[in-house]
Amino acid sequence: MFPESRVVPINCPQDYDVSMSQSTSQPQPLPSILRDKAVVVLGAGKVGSAVAVLLHDAGLAVAAVTTRHPDTARFAASRTGAKPGTDNAAAAAQGDIVLVTTNDDTIASVVAEVAQAGAWRAGQLVMHMSGALPLSVLAPAVSAGAAIGSAHPLQSFASAQDALRTIRGSVFGVTSWPGAREMLEALVGVLGGQVVDVADENKALYHAAAVMASNYLVAVEDMAVHLLVSAGFDETSALKALQPLVSGTAENVRALGTTDALTGPIVRGDVDTIRGHVEALRGLGDEELELYRALGRQTLKIALRRGTLDAATTDQLRGLLAE
């Protein structure tokens, strides 16, 4: 049976400052555990390319990067001096630290492919950066004596260049196999990240939370744009109008937490306002009203935590927001 990961507190390495400047002109000394280590990235997409560049700029040697199509790896190769290619096994054999950053559906097959070629070895760290996948997808590397782990940045990346700008300061969900923790911790520190532990058995819930906080936020904003367009806005004006509201709400959540950050008609108990929303949405279609009510029911739970609604108002709101 593939063992479960242990959850223990992590502190960033004492010989690396996670608040390091974003300038790469004067990189800080590498933690001793990373010195003289060669990095290989299998799957130089948005995240893999950005991580390769950041590790290179921090002083690690990036030996090779691979993608299905060599042109995709051009950005990482040009910035790091790494040799681009498509042969995962040949590349993996060159690495002391091997990051498998393909899409989630192919990580297991890439690891198996490299194992079949005999390219994994003792002394390597093999890691993925998926928020959803367990460590068991890296099991073939363990069989060859490698240490394994994962480090997932809780951040949204539209491009490799965007990732270079935003990865510093991000929280990384880390899951490690015995023997991998110190090096994973050091790598996150070099990337300017903050480590939190995620148990292997909790990865799906952890990743679902990330999806709700990021991807579903985009979906909610898309619906808000749709409603404004239905109200007479053009799409560009709708997006522009919503941005200060979205930014202000995110800042309130950061500063106050979700319960105290909540504003609006539900927490105020404005039953007539919610009734007006429901009636207006009925004219658009079932999808709009279904989403509004689902989110409204969750919002009502938050409002109840505030303790500002009386029983009669709560019942009326529940009735309007019922499926």
Summarised one tens digit per residue, pLDDT across range 92-133 is: 999 999 999 999 999 999 999 999 999 999 999 999 999 999
167 located within any domain: yes
Give residue 17's pLDDT: 36
pLDDT digits (tens, 9 = 90+) for 18-49: 333 333 445 578 999 999 999 999 999 899 99
22 located within any domain: no
Same domain? For 144 and 232 the reply is: no
Give residue 26's pLDDT: 55
Same domain? For 216 and 76 the reply is: no
Same domain? For 196 and 87 the reply is: yes
pLDDT digits (tens, 9 = 90+) for 196-218: 999 999 999 999 999 999 999 99
99 located within any domain: yes
178 located within any domain: yes
> Which structure tokens are listed for 241?
């109008």
Same domain? For 195 and 311 the reply is: no
287 located within any domain: yes
Same domain? For 110 and 181 the reply is: yes
Cβ neighbours of residue 276 closer than 8 Å, sequence gap 6 or more: none
Domain span at residue 247? 212-321
The residue among 145, 172, 201 that closes a domain is 201
- How many structural domains is the chain composed of? 2
Does 274 or 17 have the greater pLDDT score? 274
The whole-number average pLDDT for the span 62-87 is 89
Give residue 148's pLDDT: 98
The residue among 142, 168, 201 that closes a domain is 201
Instruction: Identify the CATH number of the domain in which residue 71 sits.
Output: 3.40.50.720
161 located within any domain: yes
